Structure 1
Amino acid sequence: MAMTYPRAVLFDHDGTLVNTEPQWAVAKRKVAQSYHQTWSVEDDHATLGGTVQDAARRIVERGAPDSVDEITRRLAEHVIEATGHEVPFLPGVQSLLRELADAGIPAAIVTNALTSVARTTAAGAPDVLTHIVSHDDVTHPKPDPEPYLTGARLLDVAPRDCVAVEDSEPGVRSAVAAGMTVVVVPGDKPVPEGPHRVFVAAHEDVTLDFLRSLSPPE
């Protein structure tokens, strides 16, 4: 493992590593429609950065007769089927993952999404994305710090020696509360300025040299 900062990188999933937000949006609309409901852009924004269960719960609260677990499973199946066999990595991500692998810097996925979906992404970069922390693995999901603290523990790296990469406010709050510097990539909703938040204009700007230029929280 490289002993320079950062010693590990923890990535959010949707909108950060992969472009699956459109697939989730379609899945929510299809599943809602199957219950004779509609799913709007406002619903997308209201659940952005939350868990898949949050979206499923919304559908249940509007009268769907099935359980949150069943609707969650259906949403995940739609997304996995839509992404097919090719992981829809965002621009620049595969290059960064190769740099991390070559440098011996471990990485993990820390997400409010489901393990089944994140596992497909991890399989696209098995040499570096060695661990997944999903909604299934924690008691308190983002914005609580537990997911990022769990990711750091799995990689056996102190939280302050990790960099997190995020695109939503709940995820940024989670990583900052865990004691990490956070790189904020563009997302569907703006993330407010704040301590230990470093903003980039594009995903391609996040290179290993850029990450090494950062400093751990004081």
Structure 2
Amino acid sequence: MVNFDAIKGFVFDLDGVVTDTSRYHAKAWGQLADKLGVNYPNLGDAVKGISRMDALEMILKKGGLENNYSAAEKEKLATEKNDNYVQLIQHMTPNDILPGMAAFLKELQANDYGIALASASKNAPTILDKIGLKDVFTKIVDPATLSHGKPDPEIFVKGAQLLDLKPEQCIGLEDAAAGITAINAANEVSVGIGSKDLLHEADINFADTEDVTLANIKAAMQ
């Protein structure tokens, strides 16, 4: 692991790190799965941290429907899920920022660290606006520019590029195993937030978002 003093920027996942929209995703995917007649227990956990089209393919495969739809029809299904989701997130507020994250972001700004968002969600700008962090995350990786989803490192590499930094100068924060794999493959320091068993590949692990502070990260890197 690099020395803490070499770190100049932080690249954040959104869902489960800055705010929790997983319940909205789970509900929107559940609505679509019900429509397709697919019974998928623990659907919310299955689709966590992966792209929209990958999640759709997972649901279709679960129901043995992966060959029943054309690419255009699959795109339409994904759009329908997104429309449901967009309606659900309209009611988000700054109260939806996870504990400690607002303070941590202020701490990063006060110490002149670069801040970027590396989320697979095309709705990230809307969510940031609703929770009052639009002015904090001015550097956002556009998912439409990506060739590969997590666990591929592309999105975290691009996050570092947006900050004009090398990946090894950045810390990536994630709550999903696929995201931790992506951060590690990007050659960034990985901070996992959540179960240590699930996120065992992370360089640093915190049980909760409120434990994420510069002091705690620095201590973990020594």
The Cα shift of 1:99 comes to 1.6
1:85 and 1:201, CA in 2 relative to 1: closer, same or farther beyond 3 A? closer
**Structure 2 residue identity aligned to 1:144:** D
The Cα shift of 1:100 comes to 1.7
Q: Does 1:185 align with 2:193?
A: yes
Count of residues in Structure 1 that have an aligned counterpart in Structure 2: 209
Q: Which residue of 2 aligns with 1:109?
A: 117
Whole-angstrom distance in 2 between the partners of 1:109 and 1:187 = 22
Q: Give the TM-score normalised by the residue count of structure 1.
A: 0.84
**Structure 1 residue identity aligned to 2:24:** Q
Identity of aligned residues (%): 25
Residue segments in structure 1 that go unaligned for 5+ positions in a row: none
- 1:74-133 superposed Cα distances (whole Å, 9 cap, x missing partner): 222222222224152211111111222222222111122x22x21123332133211222
> Is the CA contact (8 Å cut-off) linking 1:100 and 1:128 kept in structure 2?
no
Is the partner of 2:117 in helix, strand or coil?
strand
Alignment of 1:63-212 (within 5 A): 63=65, 67-83=73-89, 84-87=91-94, 88-112=96-120, 114-115=121-122, 117-123=123-129, 124-186=132-194, 190-192=198-200, 194=201, 197-212=203-218
- 1:140-179 superposed Cα distances (whole Å, 9 cap, x missing partner): 1111111111110011011111111111111111111111
**Structure 2 residue identity aligned to 1:47:** V
RMSD between superposed Cα atoms in Å: 2.6
Q: Give the TM-score normalised by the residue count of structure 2.
A: 0.82
1:107 and 1:214, CA in 2 relative to 1: closer, same or farther beyond 3 A? farther
> Is the CA contact (8 Å cut-off) linking 1:106 and 1:130 kept in structure 2?
no
**Structure 2 residue identity aligned to 1:21:** S
Is the partner of 1:10 in helix, strand or coil?
strand
The Cα shift of 1:68 comes to 2.3
Q: Does 1:24 align with 2:25?
A: yes
